[in-house]
A = this chain, B = another copy of it.
Amino acid sequence: MNNTQPCREQIKIVDATLRDGGIVNSFYFPQGFAKALYAANLEAGVDIMEFGYKVSKKLFDVTKFGEWKFCEEDSIRSVVGDNPSGMLISVMSDVGRVDLHTEVAPKDKSVIDMYRIATYARQTAEAVEMIGYCHDMGYKTCCNVMAISKVGEEELKKCVNAVAKSPVDVIYIVDSFGSLYPADMSRICDMYGEAAYKYGKQLGIHAHNNQQLAFANTLACMDKGVNYLDATVCGMGRGAGNCFLESLIGYLRNPRYKIGPVLKFIREHMNPLKRSGVAWGYDTPYLLTGLNDVHPYAAIDFIKAGRDDYENFLGEITHNS
């Protein structure tokens, strides 16, 4: 009674472990972690590896973050050399947090292949400008519209339409608060697709696991034609984390992708990282922020404080949201 899943050729798996996972530990990964992850991703057949954020060192205190918050050219090259592989290298930049003219080099001077522009719907105009700049510099571009559960349908449609008309390659559906259900995904894919496919753009999905639905929501999007699928090893990511890379590869059953190198990486690097005290993943407070469509920060603080008075917490987040 099991299904066998065909895997479309167009599917692209994006490993975002260093980037979304980096939010958990302020991007302080142990020595050798990034290099081993790069090797594991290569061997596993991952299509795109995101190394972290590219934000301006003028805006953030460099003494408070590891190197993948800034993704300097030298940092990435120390791991990948000239990246002779076919795996693309991406970085994420938030709208307004990078100085385009001094910090985004022309593609022929960079080992980065793709910029993923993270934006709120209200910043659409700036995002489109940033997409244009990165595109003109020679990069592939994605646009990740965040916190869509907080935006009215008309505003979101306008945003997605404006992005679709830009030179962007991929438009991402992002469930920032882990508040969406598979049935929502189907509806949202239709809405994004209407704009994106008209202009020949691809869709992507970045899910969060607050309600243990990151994988299921990713599958729901894939069923609706979404081809760019974000995942992280052991789901490492802010709060409840993301879709698990190993689940996704296991599901696809495509010889292009191999689960073995990811399992080895879990044993050699993720388990020690967890044992060292770095914590993420589903827990009751994340369910409550997901259910109530509020930012997971409150739940992260609640857990860090060692609290478990969930009923009070529920009162706090529902009165403040």
Chain A residues engaging chain B, CB cutoff 8 angstroms: 1-3, 5, 148-149, 151, 153, 156, 179-184, 187-188, 209, 211-216, 219-220, 223, 234, 244, 246-247, 250-251, 259-260, 263-264, 266-267, 271, 282, 284, 287-288, 291, 293, 308-311, 314
Contact = CB atoms under 8 A, between A and B. Distances in A.
Contact of A2 (B1, B180, B220, B264): B180
A215 B178 CA distance: 14
A246 B219 CA distance: 23
A3 B187 contact: yes
A151 B1 contact: yes
A244 B213 CA distance: 12
A246 B286 CA distance: 12
A1 B311 contact: no
How many of these chains are in the complex? 2
A270 B314 CA distance: 18
Contacts of A183: 3, 5, 219, 223
Given A216-B216, A234-B284, 14 more contacts: A1-B148, A1-B184, A183-B223, A211-B250, A212-B247, A213-B215, A215-B216, A216-B219, A246-B284, A250-B291, A259-B291, A263-B284, A263-B310, A263-B314
B1 A247 contact: no
A279 to B, nearest CB: 15
Contacts of A149: 1-2
Nearest to A217: B216
